Homo-oligomer: A and B are copies of this chain.
Amino acid sequence: MSQQRFPRPATPAGFDPSRASSRAADPAGWRYPADQRDVVHRVIAERRDVRRFRPEDVPEDTLQRVLAAAHRAPSVGLMQPWRLIVIRDAATRAAMRRLAQRERLRQAQRFDERAREFLDKKIEGIVEAPLGICVCCDHGHAGEEVLGRGTIPDTDIYSTACAIENLWLAARAEGLGVGWVSFYRPPDLRALLSIPDRAEPIAYL
């Protein structure tokens, strides 16, 4: 199984921390120019759940930029609970497809023809795409105190989902297709990727 864990990458070109401080004295400087603002709205509007993939490898620098976007998600008390597993190995992806197929068969009677076709396409995408990313949420140690998480323990899951959205938007801008597969049983995925108990698989992309 070839899984790699990536370090958090460097700050991207054009990022100016002095423009990102607390209260903006000059709100005009904090606002993006109209053309750049429109790019942000457009990438949000053009994000799609992709089901068919091209076979070309994802260039390493592109992948790093997309993973960096995920790592910049918000988190309460800077917990940064997301954990990303990149799956390139064809055998692992084929095993993932089997998990999804098994679930599809289990639920076969519940869906009509159109739904079945849709699911088949999604399931083939797992091996058609040159790589998969499993996003997990690390719940941390039970005793650990995190500021602002006292009354809402699920904030770590919210943060992990925000990381997924960042990754997806960045991938869209890079011209990479992303599809979210939610058709498996989480314990199966946990076993396949050797995910430790304290982490919870949130998405297979």
A74 touching B54 by the CB < 8 A rule?
Answer: no
In the complex, A48→B119 CA distance in Å?
A: 38
**Residue of B19, B27, B119, B157 touching A157 (CB-CB under 8 A):** B157
A19, B44: Cα distance in complex, Å: 13
Residues in chain B near residue A107, CB distance under 8 A: 150
**Chain A interface size range:** 35 or more
Residues on B with beta carbons closer than 8 Å to the beta carbon of A157: 154, 157-158, 161
CB–CB B23/A53 < 8 A = yes
A174 within 8 A of B: yes
Question: For residue A174, which residues in chain B have a CB less than 8 angstroms away from its CB?
Answer: 31-32, 37
List residues of chain B with CB within 8 A of the CB of A165. Answer: 73-74, 161-162, 165-166
A177 CB-CB contact with B under 8 Å: yes
The contact string, 1 if C-beta is below 8 Å from chain B, for chain A 59-98, is 0000001001100111010000000000000000000000
A sample of 17 more A-B contacts (CB under 8 A), given A44-B170, A122-B148, is A22-B48, A22-B50, A23-B50, A32-B173, A40-B69, A44-B166, A74-B168, A74-B180, A151-B183, A154-B157, A155-B182, A157-B157, A158-B161, A158-B164, A158-B202, A158-B203, A160-B161
A-B CB contact pairs (8 Å), 18 listed: A16-B46, A20-B48, A22-B50, A23-B177, A24-B175, A27-B175, A37-B174, A40-B173, A73-B165, A76-B182, A103-B150, A119-B147, A151-B184, A157-B157, A157-B161, A158-B164, A161-B161, A162-B162
Q: Which residues of A contact B (CB under 8 A)?
A: 11-16, 19-20, 22-24, 27-28, 30-32, 36-54, 56, 65, 68-69, 72-74, 76, 103, 107, 110-111, 115, 118-119, 122, 145, 147-152, 154-155, 157-162, 164-166, 168-170, 172-175, 177, 180, 182-186, 202-203
